[in-house]
Amino acid sequence: MATRYRRAAVAVIALLAATLFVPAAGATQPTIVGGDEVSIRDYPYAVFLTDRRGGQFCGGVLVEQDTVLTAAHCAQAVPRADLVVVGGRQDKRTESGRTSGVESIWVHPEYRTPGSGNDIATLTLSRMLWYPTARPATGADAGLYTAGAEATVIGWGRTADGGPRSNTLRGATLPIVSDQDCGQAFRNYDPTTMVCAGLPEGGVDACTGDSGGPLLAGTTVIGIVSWGVGCGEPGKPGVYTRVAHYDGRIGDSTQPRLFP
């Protein structure tokens, strides 16, 4: 079983990048498996990333009207000048909602591959997207990471490993997995920078094309879709960037703060 990043390939450069960014033997990219269609009205802060040709390859979440939180491997998938953020669009086949180019990209300076942690980035938009925003988790939100606590993952990715991509926004509710269980599932699991979510029997997960999208507790972003093995495989929960770990500790006077 190959390791999956949950980003869809967008061009030759993205395909080459996918071969370089391999977290561990066995990891893939994630859309939502075992979920249902959800309304963008219920998740107005959900956005997706495309190239200039309109090919959707990742998700993201508005944390300010001009700032998107996403995965580092998504931010590096295409050149900044070719990156487009789409907000307010339920169905990718329509022209609804608003779009923006990207003015600047911040990637965690210690990011190397999704499987090594720190798979987090922010995109500063070239225009405001006037939609409600989500709140990034902070150190005060430790309870949201308790094993068994429910969270919701949303995205436009594949609905099965190797299956078709969803044209519409989908979501699924799944439990947080303990650090002990996730460490047993993945040798490279880092409980400081990562968090796992999924059912022991599998069947509910993010999948290819969901990378960068949010794992939510209400309107609080507790995770960013990062990597996994297959989609919805038994005993292989999805792995997410642990957002609370980065509370106020990223960025300096020469680069934008992670969370404005």
Residues marked active site are found at 73, 119, 211
Contacts of 110 (CB under 8 A, 6+ apart): 117, 118
Return the closest-CA partner of residue 62 out of 129, 144, 159: 129
Which amino acid would we find at residue 229?
V
Cα 192 versus chain centre, distance: 17
DSSP letter string over 84-152? Answer: EEEES-SBTTS--SEEEEEEEEEE-TT---GGGS---EEEEESS---S---EE--GGGGGGGSTT-EEE
Would you say 211 and 73 are in contact if contact means Cβ atoms under 8 Å apart? yes
Give the separation between CA 192 and CA 190, rounded to whole angstroms: 5
CA dist., res. 194 & res. 146, Å (int): 13
Ordered DSSP codes for 100-111: EEEEEEEE-TT-
Alpha-carbon distance of 104 to 115, in angstroms, equals 25
List the structure tokens of 250. 């990223």
CB 70 within 8 A of CB 224: yes
| DSSP structure class, residue 181 | H
Q: What angle do CA 53, 107, 249 make, to 5 degrees?
A: 145
- CA quadruple 249, 250, 252, 258: dihedral sign: negative
